[in-house]
């Protein structure tokens, strides 16, 4: 996990002081924040993404009630970290980088520079805000940034195997709820979409075929040899063809792939054994705890210990 103190100690004093204010005031509910004693303004009333004139980075982001932007609800985890999908300023992905505010957030993501986050919780009788705290910009989609919040002890989860899925899942579940009632006339189209989803889930054919060969057609966790349900899982997120390296992959049964992507299963790289989340303790997956990972015979294509460790750190196991 990233550490707030280490990430901010390299920043100029003015910038660091503003971020410390957000971190120290996590959870506070108040009116619009006053400037700091040195005159530093903490947020912009005119725009959700605030990039001060005196630096190239974004300093803070703000959510407003009734905003035209499709921000999602905050997802808080048991360890105090949290995540949020935050809409960029420009709806069209093709022109998103023409906006200086979006560029400033993208720079924060590139250079691992924290930002402050606040959201409006009331408009009347006076506008009030909750300070969500300090956060990192950990990923970017066509129209949203993925924001990961620091816990009270100053740590934040980085990016997971399929980014941080929780806010994305929540968003898609809300869309599904609005999709309407079941209609038999929609079954053929739904079946095509389901098959397309399975194909995507299995992974790119060449990458999957490599893993099928390397792992002798068996799931790295369960040993399942039913090829039809085996999928090519990325340990660290897909970031172009270079991440389709066998050392960044595991051949996993479909359900194990889901649990791995959600951070409910991880690998202890000291023993190369399986770790499971406590919530799986009373389920059929409890027997996987402590199981030895099935590894390829060729060391050069074994899963990367560093990548597995990063995944474990992200999962919190």
List pLDDT tens digits, range 25-66.
Answer: 999 999 999 999 999 999 999 889 999 999 999 999 999 887
Report, as an integer, the average pLDDT of 156-160. 70
pLDDT at 85 over 80: yes
In this structure, what are the phi and psi dihedrals at residue 244, rounded to the nearest 5 degrees? -85, 30
Question: pTM of this prediction?
Answer: 0.63
Which has the higher per-residue pLDDT, 194 or 126? 126
> Under the phi-then-psi rule, with left for phi > 0, alpha for psi from -120 to 50, and beta for the rest, what region is 290?
left
User: Residue 213's closest CA among 301, 308, 306?
Assistant: 301
Mean pLDDT, the chain, rounded, equals 83
Domain 2-160, CATH among 2.30.30, 2.30.280, 2.50.20, 1.25.40: 2.30.280
pLDDT at 196 over 60: no
Strand-pairing partners, residue 115, are 135
For 152, the 3-state DSSP assignment is coil
Q: pLDDT per residue over 229-246, tens digit each?
A: 998 888 887 666 667 888
List the domain boundaries for the chain. Answer: 2-160, 190-315
Neighbouring C-beta atoms of residue 85, cutoff 10 Å = 24
């Amino acid at each position: 996990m990233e550490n707030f103190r280490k990430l901010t100690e390299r920043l100029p004093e003015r910038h660091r002081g503003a971020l410390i204010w957000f971190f120290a005031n996590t959870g506070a509910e108040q009116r619009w924040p006053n400037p700091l004693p040195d005159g530093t303004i903490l947020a912009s009333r005119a725009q959700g993404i605030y990039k001060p004139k005196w630096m190239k980075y974004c300093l803070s982001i703000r959510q407003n009630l009734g905003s035209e932007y499709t921000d999602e609800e905050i997802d808080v985890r048991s360890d105090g970290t949290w995540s949020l999908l935050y809409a960029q300023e420009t709806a069209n992905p093709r022109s998103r980088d023409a906006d200086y505010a979006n560029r400033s957030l993208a720079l924060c993501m590139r250079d691992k520079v924290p930002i402050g986050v606040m959201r409006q919780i009331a408009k009347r009788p006076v506008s009030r805000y909750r300070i969500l705290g300090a956060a990192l910009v950990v990923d970017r989609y066509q129209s949203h940034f993925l924001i990961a919040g620091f816990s009270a002890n100053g740590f934040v989860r980085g990016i997971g195997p399929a980014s941080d899925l929780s806010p994305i899942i929540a968003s898609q579940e809300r869309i599904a709820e609005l999709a309407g009632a079941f209609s038999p006339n929609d079954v053929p189209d739904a079946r095509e979409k389901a098959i397309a989803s399975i194909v995507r889930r299995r992974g790119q054919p060449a990458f999957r075929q490599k893993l099928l060969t390397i792992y002798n057609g068996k799931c790295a966790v369960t040993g399942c040899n039913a090829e039809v349900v085996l999928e090519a899982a990325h340990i660290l997120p897909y970031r172009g063809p270079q991440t389709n390296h066998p050392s960044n992959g595991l051949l996993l049964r479909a359900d194990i792939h889901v649990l791995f992507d959600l951070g409910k299963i991880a690998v202890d790289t000291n023993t190369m054994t399986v770790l499971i989340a406590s919530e799986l303790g009373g389920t059929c997956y409890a027997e996987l705890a402590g199981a030895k990972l099935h590894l390829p015979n060729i060391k050069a294509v074994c899963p990367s210990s560093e990548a597995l460790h990063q995944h474990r750190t992200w999962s919190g196991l």
